[in-house]
Amino acid sequence: MIWDWAFAIEILPRLGQAAIVTVQATVMGFALAATLGLGLTLARIAWPRTALPISVGVELVRSTPLLIQIFVLYFVGPEIGLVLDALTAGTLAIGVHYAAYCSEVYRAGFEAVPRSQWEAAEALNLNRGTALMRIILPQAIPPVIPALGNYLVALFKETPLLSAIAVLELMQTAKIIGSESFRYTEPITLVGLFFLGMSLISAALIRLVEARITQGVRR
């Protein structure tokens, strides 16, 4: 028989443990991506002089494979005194990689706020920083939340890359189970199903949030 139910159930607890690591990496990675991405965008607006270096950095990160970035951080990092455990290094790499994407999303959000909003703030004598944080930011974020949600799902689906540096997340655990038992069908299938289920749930949540936001805008 190709599919062994008994074996599938037997490995579930181990995969469950690994799923926690996957979710951890996703949550931490995305938290970093969302905040760092926003920070980069705000810096670009508040201090125009930082715009060029930030753009170069963002382009560099977006134009090189995430896998290579993970390797660089984990294997080359120690050479320059940056010693991180695999999960931290991997999460950091994923977070920075997606921060680059998120910052572009945020930027689109800020650019979509009409110039006249800046002018109205200026005419009321609000300084640039206050205008940015109190007037522009609250208008720039809600429209881009769905796009950020899509990156959350994308980031989640890329966490198996962490298996390349032996983080005991789902994919790595499935591979280990496979090499121990010579049965790959069950672990790999279960991992796939887990990602499918979580992605579908996330997508539904994003749609829900999106609907609420559109409602808020029409208010």
Partner 1 sequence: MMQDPMVRFQNVTKRHGSHIVVDGLNLDVARNEKVAIIGASGSGKTSLLRMLMALDPVDSGEIFIEGEPLTHMERQGKRLPPDMAHIRRMRGKVGMVFQSFNLFPHLTAMGNCIEAPMRVLGLTRAAAIERATELLEMVGLASRKDYYPSQLSGGQQQRVAIARALAMRPKVMLFDEVTSALDPETVGEVLTVIRRLGEEHDLTMMVVTHQMGFAREFADRVCFLHQGRICEEAPARDFFHNPQNERTRAFLRAVLEAG
HSE at residue 207, side-chain half, CA atoms within 13 A, is: 6
Q: Residue 119, interface with partner 1 (CB under 8 A)?
A: yes
Instruction: Please choose, out of 61-69, 114-122, 174-182, 191-199, the segment that lies near partner 1 by the rule CB under 8 A.
Output: 114-122
Residues 27-86 that bind partner 1 (CB under 8 A): none
Backbone angles phi, psi at 81, to 5 degrees: 85, 10
Q: Residue 198, interface with partner 1 (CB under 8 A)?
A: no
Residue 61 CA to residue 58 CA, distance in Å, equals: 5
Instruction: Please choose, out of 64-72, 102-110, 113-121, 188-196, the segment that lies near partner 1 by the rule CB under 8 A.
Output: 113-121
Residue with tokens 């609420």: 212
Q: Please report which helix (H) or strand (E) contains residue 34, including its range.
A: helix 5-46
Using the rule CB under 8 A, which residue among 27, 43, 126, 164 binds partner 1?
126
User: How much of the chain is in helix, strand and coil states, percent to nearest 5?
Assistant: 85, 0, 15
CB of 171 to partner 1, least distance (A): 42
Q: Residue 215, interface with partner 1 (CB under 8 A)?
A: no
Contacts with partner 1, residue ranges (CB under 8 A): 116-117, 119-127, 130, 134-135, 138-139, 217-219
